[in-house]
Structure 1
Amino acid sequence: MTTTDVTPEDESTGTRARTVLTASLIGTTIEWYDFFLFATAASIVFPQLFFPAGDETVGTLLSFATFAVGFVARPIGGILFGHLGDRVGRKATLVSTMLLAGLATALIGLLPSYATIGLWAPILLVVLRVLGGIALGGEWAGAVLMAVEYAPPGRRGLWGSSPQIGLGLGLSLGTGAFALLGGAMDDRAFLDWGWRIAFLVSVLLVVVGLVVRLAVLETPAFRRMQDSADVARVPVVEVVRDEPSRRNLGLGLLARWAEGAAFNTWGVFVLTYAVTTVRMPRSEVLVAVTIAGLVSAVVVPLAGHLADRFGRRAVFAAGAVAFGVGVYPAFLGLSTGSLVVVTVVLVLLLGVVYGVQSGAEAPLFAELFPARTRYTGMSLVYQGSGIYASGLTPLILTSLLAVTGGSPWLACAFLVLTAVVSVVATRALRPVEL
């Protein structure tokens, strides 16, 4: 029996299991809703409100740089909350991450603009972005482990993918909220105060999430660790010292490159590219991304099921290959400016291809580390790679487009490179025998 299998003593009925999956899904949905609000606002709101007026490209770059700062903060959160998750428990840590993320998001909704408080506006925006990044840095691994460590034998892939559904739902809620608010008022009202409503609503969502998470017991794997006194003293040190863990950590950081780049290309960068380069209406692009996010939420559990049947590495690598193959045709489709074509492109690349990667990665990374350091190890892989794989992607793509005068060929070459690296590293991963 592995440390992630559930014995009859651990789980006598399916009620608690359903509560666990609901807690993981609701929690990650709220956390990703907060995250995507910031990502969307960084594309269409923050350049105009929180940075000096001037060149549009410079404002966008500064806004994406602020977006990237959150990814730099996420490994800090991964180490901090990973330490707590491996020593104190998964449940208490997840409650803390949700509270911190909700507070940071709500305060952004109350933040004065550059015209009101000058340089303090971008400074405070960065501070709140860092706090949100730290919270999200500890959220993902804990939510995945809450599901994986309750999973019955043979269904770890399916159960582990459940928190990833929250990513697609959170994306749809975040972009959908902006699309709804933008359609209900004129551009001036939206920029003045309308966008803030979406950030403030986060407080209500956090209350709901906390109620559900507080009803969940600690995972069976962690309870067994406590009973056997097999709790890591300093988890991050053990991850680095243990040779199999250290190897999987390095390969995992490379394996996730294509997944992070894929999402932040089709879910974040595309908002700026379609509006400023292709000149599509903002509302149309938001609707297309929202639809793709909903499709992703459906594909993710299917990918988790396939990961149980054909292996985590095979499914995850297949998604990376499809991403690399589809990059250039996708940019050709985006350049048409047609709502139908753009929606089809995003449904295929963000909804289906990215959904496959996302659904397989949670159980894949969970099995790279033993239970005593699993929270920390997973956090280091996911959040460490987020700096370059996710946070820098919109900034890099914007810069490459500027260099080529708007032509996407260099940006496409960069994204194909991430896919190649990801596939090679994924095939070299060696799950730990638990």
Structure 2
Amino acid sequence: MTDTAAMMQPAARRRLVSSALLGTTIEFFDVYIYGLAAGLYFARLFFPSASPTVSVIASFGTLASGFLIRPLGGIIGGHFGDRYGRKKVLVASMIVMGSGTFVVGVLPTYQTIGIWAPILLIAARLAQGLGAGAEWGGGVLMLVEHMSKDRRGFWGSISNFGVWLGIAFGTLVFAGITRLPEHVQMWAWRAPFIASAALVFFGLWVRLGVTETPVFVEAEKEAKQNKREPLPLAELFRNHKKATVIAICVATGAASYQIYGTFATSYADSLELPVSTILLFQFANGLFALFATLFFGWLSDHTGRRVLAIVGSIMVVPSMYLLFWSLNGSRLPLIMLSLILLEIGHSMVYGPMGAFLAEMFETRARYTGISIAYQVGAGALSGLGPLIASAILASSGGPPHVYAVPLIVAVTGSLTVIGAFLAPNRARQPLPDSAEGRDARLVDRGAVSGQRT
């Protein structure tokens, strides 16, 4: 079978890669600036309380709400993406996501409109979450389904490269904002939320010019010929129940970032460490993550996805203890070292994840399957991380009693190890039910038949 990746014109390939990269960059820029603003400003501006701890927990609750609704966004986006095409959903997801982010930037505070401020903040965050829930899976599939089977891990990691690009950009912006006088910070935090609208318009312009994936076009044609177009969600739970559970377990490996990124920054603030310095550390770590994500995506094409997911999940647990010990002791060089170690472990899981999840599902349920898996494991469960960590810290008596918090990543890492052991290892093999895969199976059957005669 002709390799569709080899047939693509260079300009079409650049536009395809740019579309996927911009989508996840904008998505995680929006998500991350919300997480930073929630930890640093929203508690005072939208959830005033006599107890600072209660205010922070309420603020992180809105962050969690956006993650909790992401599986619903994944189901909706997956349904339409598997039924009508990946491209259409990706255009809609970017509009919904960008609109929610812009509303946060212009929203009046509790002092101005009272209880309506937190209510509208939650509504905007839910819109953000719905759009983001539909975005990641489609962006990954536009790359994985277009590109060669021998480099699916690398190309699938491009979307996650965009995740870190958005996080690094958001961290840099807030590192600058936190250096401003405090009265200026109280309105300057809005600037990146409003500016995100410009990124969305540019992303839409790029995205409207890409073509649908050949794997989906082929599957759609076959379904129409056979007059068989089952609902993607029904198809998923009829034929892919086991794969869905395994994929969710694998995706929980991404949860560690919300602890060492979002929660740790807020924890550093509670210790009265220089937050702008911690954010610069996070920015440098984000730059490192850009290349680590691509490297481990590429490496998974040669070693397989499984071994990297297992080693990375184990590695983050002791590294997380090192981070909090370093924060409690204000050991700045060790804070940076522990962040790098955490990122190596996280990227081992996260770099290959797009290809790893996509290889578990057939085409007409693939968008739904990887979206549900990612948005439950890396979305909803991950988004609960800062909220659970804040509650654990409060129940332990507050800083410096933080050493129960790393148990969160011990649990999520264990799920990833179990999922990785049970997952099929399809690196460098055709995607399930693709024409290339059927051709390969026919060749194998012919060879076996020839041996028997």
Tell me which interval the TM-score lies in, with the shorter structure as reference length: over 0.9
Q: Is the 8 A contact 2:259 2:386 kept in 1?
A: yes
- Report the alpha carbon displacement of residue 388 of structure 1 after superposing the two structures with TM: 4.9
After superposition, residues 36-115 of structure 1 pair within 5 angstroms as 36-115=32-111
Q: Is the 8 A contact 1:98 1:210 kept in 2?
A: yes
- Structure 1 residue 150 and structure 2 residue 143: aligned? no
* CA deviation string 1:221-241 (max 9, x = no partner): 111122223674310111011
Secondary structure of 2:7's partner? coil
- Structure 1 residue 287 and structure 2 residue 283: aligned? no
* Structure 2 match to 1:125: 121
For residue 270 of structure 1, the aligned residue among 246, 261, 264 is 264
For residue 228 of structure 1, the aligned residue among 222, 228, 233 is 222
* Structure 2 match to 1:422: 416
Secondary structure of 1:410's partner? coil
- Report the alpha carbon displacement of residue 307 of structure 1 after superposing the two structures with TM: 0.8
- Aligned equivalents of 1:21 and 1:361: distance in 2? 17
- Structure 1 residue 188 and structure 2 residue 183: aligned? yes
* Structure 2 match to 1:375: 367
Q: Is the 8 A contact 1:288 1:339 kept in 2?
A: no
After superposition, residues 203-282 of structure 1 pair within 5 angstroms as 203-229=197-223, 232-242=229-239, 245-260=240-255, 262-276=256-270, 278-282=271-275
Q: Is the 8 A contact 1:288 1:343 kept in 2?
A: yes
- Structure 1 residue 20 and structure 2 residue 20: aligned? no
Query: What amino acid sits opposite 1:100 in the alignment?
Result: V
| Greater gyration radius | 2
Query: What amino acid sits opposite 1:246 in the alignment?
Result: K
Query: What amino acid sits opposite 1:359 in the alignment?
Result: G
For residue 198 of structure 1, the aligned residue among 177, 192, 198 is 192
Q: Is the 8 A contact 2:320 2:338 kept in 1?
A: no
For residue 310 of structure 1, the aligned residue among 286, 296, 303 is 303
Q: Over aligned residues, Cα RMSD in angstroms?
A: 1.7
* Structure 2 match to 1:323: 316
- Report the alpha carbon displacement of residue 66 of structure 1 after superposing the two structures with TM: 0.8
* CA deviation string 1:239-264 (max 9, x = no partner): 0111xx1101112222222322x110
Secondary structure of 1:215's partner? coil
Secondary structure of 1:52's partner? coil
* CA deviation string 1:322-359 (max 9, x = no partner): 11232222221222223333222222213x22222210
Q: Is the 8 A contact 2:65 2:126 kept in 1?
A: yes
- Structure 1 residue 359 and structure 2 residue 351: aligned? yes
- Aligned equivalents of 2:164 and 2:391: distance in 1? 27
Q: TM-score, normalised by structure 2?
A: 0.90
Q: Is the 8 A contact 2:153 2:297 kept in 1?
A: yes
Moved more, 356-365 or 418-427: 418-427
- Aligned equivalents of 1:388 and 1:375: distance in 2? 18
- Structure 1 residue 400 and structure 2 residue 392: aligned? yes
- Structure 1: unaligned runs, 5 residues or longer: none
Query: What amino acid sits opposite 1:186 in the alignment?
Result: P
Q: Is the 8 A contact 1:100 1:131 kept in 2?
A: yes
- Report the alpha carbon displacement of residue 365 of structure 1 after superposing the two structures with TM: 0.5
* CA deviation string 1:21-62 (max 9, x = no partner): 111111110111111111111110110100123211101100
For residue 411 of structure 1, the aligned residue among 405, 425, 431 is 405
- Report the alpha carbon displacement of residue 89 of structure 1 after superposing the two structures with TM: 0.8
* Structure 1 match to 2:450: none
- Report the alpha carbon displacement of residue 284 of structure 1 after superposing the two structures with TM: 1.3
Q: Is the 8 A contact 1:28 1:164 kept in 2?
A: yes
- Aligned equivalents of 1:338 and 1:112: distance in 2? 39
* CA deviation string 1:160-196 (max 9, x = no partner): 110000111111111211112232x3111111x1000
Query: What amino acid sits opposite 2:383 in the alignment?
Result: G
* Structure 2 match to 1:176: 172
Q: Is the 8 A contact 1:279 1:337 kept in 2?
A: no
* Structure 2 match to 1:391: 383
* Structure 2 match to 1:134: 130
Moved over 4 A (4+): none
Secondary structure of 1:325's partner? helix
- Report the alpha carbon displacement of residue 14 of structure 1 after superposing the two structures with TM: 3.1
Q: Is the 8 A contact 2:100 2:128 kept in 1?
A: yes
Q: Is the 8 A contact 2:24 2:159 kept in 1?
A: yes
Q: Is the 8 A contact 1:324 1:420 kept in 2?
A: no
- Aligned equivalents of 2:379 and 2:26: distance in 1? 22
Q: TM-score, normalised by structure 1?
A: 0.93
Secondary structure of 2:352's partner? helix
Secondary structure of 2:189's partner? helix
- Aligned equivalents of 2:246 and 2:216: distance in 1? 26
Query: What amino acid sits opposite 2:424 in the alignment?
Result: R
Query: What amino acid sits opposite 1:218 in the alignment?
Result: E
- Structure 2: unaligned runs, 5 residues or longer: 426-430, 434-453
- Aligned equivalents of 2:73 and 2:248: distance in 1? 16
Query: What amino acid sits opposite 1:418 in the alignment?
Result: T
Residue identity over aligned pairs, in percent, reads 35
In structure 2, relative to structure 1, the CA distance for the partners of 1:422 and 1:118 (3 Å cut) is: same
- Aligned equivalents of 2:295 and 2:106: distance in 1? 39
- Aligned equivalents of 1:370 and 1:108: distance in 2? 38
- Aligned equivalents of 1:217 and 1:48: distance in 2? 46
